[in-house]
Chains A and B, each alone.
Chain A
Amino acid sequence: MTKQEIEKNVELIKEISGCDPYKCMRCGKCSGSCPSFNEMDIKPHQFASYIINGNVEELVSSKSLWKCLSCFACIERCPRNVEPGKLIDAARQLVERERGGDHLQAEDIPELLNEDVPQQLLVSAYRRYRR
């Protein structure tokens, strides 16, 4: 990614998630809640700093992107309203947008079903994407 692309993607993640990563105080309550913690390479409490430091490429190519169950425990419990679950969800959207264009139709969903993609991801993607 070029510098411009990184900046664009950081802005996009902030916009899609509606979250401010700068609010994170690194308390770790997200990582202390996450049921997929052990399978993740980048841990939930690191999401915010990856975005702040522009390490979007690592984030979108991480295992964590597909290991997040969208259980929303971190969103529910985050004391700072950073809501790491929404940040990683937004990062996933970046990938999904690249893949499927800018719109998601209900009839496209069966095609997208595969073992690695949690069903909740599709539900939240559909919620955000239908126009």
Chain B
Amino acid sequence: MQRIGVFVCHCGSNIAATVDVKKVVELVRYEPGVVFADDYMYMCSEAGQEKIIEAIKENKLTGLVICSCSPRMHEKTFRACAEKAGLNPYMVEIANIREQCSWIHKDREEATEKAVILARAAIAKVNLNTPLQEGESPVIKRALVIGGGIAGIQTALDIADAGYPVDIVEREPSIGGRMSQFDKTFPTLDCASCILTPKMVEVNQHPNITLYTYSEVEGVSGYVGNFEVQIKKKARSVDMAACTGCGECQAKCPLGKMGKIPSEFDRGLKNRPAIYMPFAQAVPAVPVIDRENCTYFKTGKCGVCAKICPSKAINYEQEDEIVTEKYGAIVVATGFDIINLDKYGEYAYNESPDVITSIELERLMNAAGPTGGHLERMSDHKQPKDIVFIQCVGSRCDDEKGKPYCSKVCCMYTAKHAMLIKDHWPDTNVTVFYIDVRTPGKNFDEFYRRAVEQYHVNYIKGQVGKVIPQPDGSLMVQGVDLLDNKQIMKKTDMVVLAAAIEPNKGVRKIATMLTASIDNNDFLTEAHAKLRPVESPTAGIFLSGMAQGPKDIPETVSQAGAAAVKVVGLLAKDKLKTNPCTAKCDPMFCNGCSTCANVCPYGAITYEDQLVRGPGVNETRRVAIVNIALCQGCGACTTACPSGAMDLQGFSNRQITTEVDAICQ
């Protein structure tokens, strides 16, 4: 029989205001196994913990039930406290009477009754608890960063500078991400390339960084400290070691002049050859052949690039290659894209080439862009004299078309665009239709006010309802000025849409492989929104940049640094403690049916022939073996097992049914 101590926490008034704590103590005192029960204002405080330790020693307690907040909050605290008093930490159970009781109920009597029931269930469970020992697992001192935009680049550099090897996997032929497409950055207006390319070069030359560009993560197995990752290096068709990046092949590719393949980097505003580098400062400066469009790959004829390449670097025979590498930690920095605007027919994006997105405008204003930095309409290549910006296209929506969140960066980049246009071409008339101007951040509101006060950008509070392309090539904008209570019909030359930001499409596949959770909008979820913002709830997975939520460059860089510190903190450890709550197979009941191995997400179950001896049994048969280093204790096998042979230590079938019985008493 256990000697159980029950400790009920007031949590200030968080619990005590709704739950009659004293009554709970009195009612659980006589539960089977309970030899001690007490309450305290803050059980997690130094004094509260002292009280627990004292009680353990005085009453020779063998098990503890703490009625307090969620185990996610303080289970660790109370386990450590029990360990201090010489108790096995796995003899501690938490009854969550805050999040699952006092916070969600109003009626004091009902809440008290529920608190007692939850305590009873925990007591019933502790009666069956057995001491468990944590194991140890080694840490592979190498990190993986998925995504080579500014978030991934900064995370990798910070990890590498701390002395640990780190690999970057980037889907595109070059690192650089979205930031490399931008013209200038707010609020200082430095040129994006000027501040990004040195970092790209640093990544390429850093002795601790290995780059896998034009590559994708194909499979992930293992667990924190011991991930095994398959990386698919897509065939570049160019020998990276031989290529000097001279660019001859791009210039001579016959498809380049035919203008059939839209450049992804220039958002379709320009065409590219079939063999290409996305942009001049690409890292690595090695082109790839787009096999879907290349004439040689389609018909077997052409081969111009191979003929003219001075370094003989073209290799049509190259095949996709799978690299398997082990990592201790993985950072997801997969970034963002903007939403598809097909559903916003009213803004005529698909109808008129002069209705563009803000990223397209970035390309149009970039000196290295399709127009050499000269702002022009894509329809007639004339310089627009009047430009209308429409904010919140798909952001802050509560319908099936858009996103419910604020994309956060649009107000600032639109102010930037407006000012840059006014600066280069002062006689351009610039109008911004906004719902709210949101500019929290250092020097941000000053920046926006400069657009109004110094550059006389016309900010109108109100949304645009429709953009109507006119027969003369202009655009009619129908909108509203809510402050003047007037409808506006305005003729303009160009419309720029601040389309909502969304996580990159590939993130879903990656999150599934990593068992990292994502929210309703496909943004990666933090382990704790406030206190663990750069960690995923899955141990060993860290978050960086827009993949976690909309943010600007300074925030991304800060978050990248934070994620790097967390990774370094993990890699600095030689050994990690492993969770002892793992699955265990009882060979007496196992018939080797393989059901458990099929559901195990960690590949922790194998089979072997074992001599099984028991009452009436003496035979060699195939039974399941759990690799406790791989098992994460998810319990999938225990529910799947048809014969009840699989059990989860610390959460055994018997413990759970006893808990249910206690609740249903």
Contacts and interface: CB of A to CB of B under 8 A. Distances in A.
| Genuine A/B complex | yes
A38 interface: yes
A77 B346 CA distance: 8
Contacts of B479: 28, 32
Interface stretch (A8-16, A19-27, A95-103, A108-116): A19-27
B107 interface: no
Candidate in A23, A37, A73 with the most chain B CB atoms within 10 angstroms: A37
A32 B398 contact: no
Contact of A34 (B398, B461, B465): B465
A43 B485 contact: yes
Contacts of A76: 346
Interface in A66-114: 73, 76-81
B482 A79 contact: no
A69 B394 CA distance: 26
Nearest to A44: B480
Interface in B471-493: 478-480, 482, 485, 487-488
Nearest to B397: A79
Contact of A33 (B397, B399, B461, B466): B466
A29 B395 CA distance: 13
Given A34-B487, A73-B465, A28 B480 contact: yes
A75 to B, nearest CB: 10
Nearest to A24: B398
Contact of B398 (A37, A38, A45, A81): A81
Contacts of B464: 29, 32
A31 interface: yes
A94 B433 CA distance: 35
Candidate in B433, B479, B487 with the most chain A CB atoms within 10 angstroms: B487
B137 interface: no
B463 A81 contact: no
B462 interface: yes
B602 to A, nearest CB: 42
Contacts of A30: 465
B431 to A, nearest CB: 13
Contacts of A79: 392, 394, 396-399, 401-402
A32 B399 contact: no
Given A32-B479, A33-B478, A27 B463 contact: yes
A37 B401 CA distance: 25
B481 to A, nearest CB: 8
Contacts of B463: 27-29, 32
B435 interface: yes
Contacts of B487: 31-32, 34, 37-38
Nearest to A40: B487
Contacts of B398: 23, 79-81
B482 A77 contact: no
A80 B394 CA distance: 10
B462 A31 contact: yes
17 contacts: A27-B435, A28-B463, A28-B479, A29-B480, A30-B465, A31-B480, A32-B433, A32-B465, A34-B465, A43-B480, A43-B485, A45-B480, A79-B392, A79-B397, A79-B401, A80-B398, A80-B399
Given A32-B487, A80-B399, 16 more contacts: A23-B398, A27-B435, A28-B461, A28-B462, A28-B480, A29-B464, A29-B480, A32-B463, A32-B464, A37-B487, A78-B399, A79-B392, A79-B396, A79-B399, A79-B401, A80-B397
Among all A-B residue pairs, the 7 with the closest Cβ atoms? A33-B465, A32-B465, A29-B463, A32-B480, A28-B462, A31-B480, A79-B397
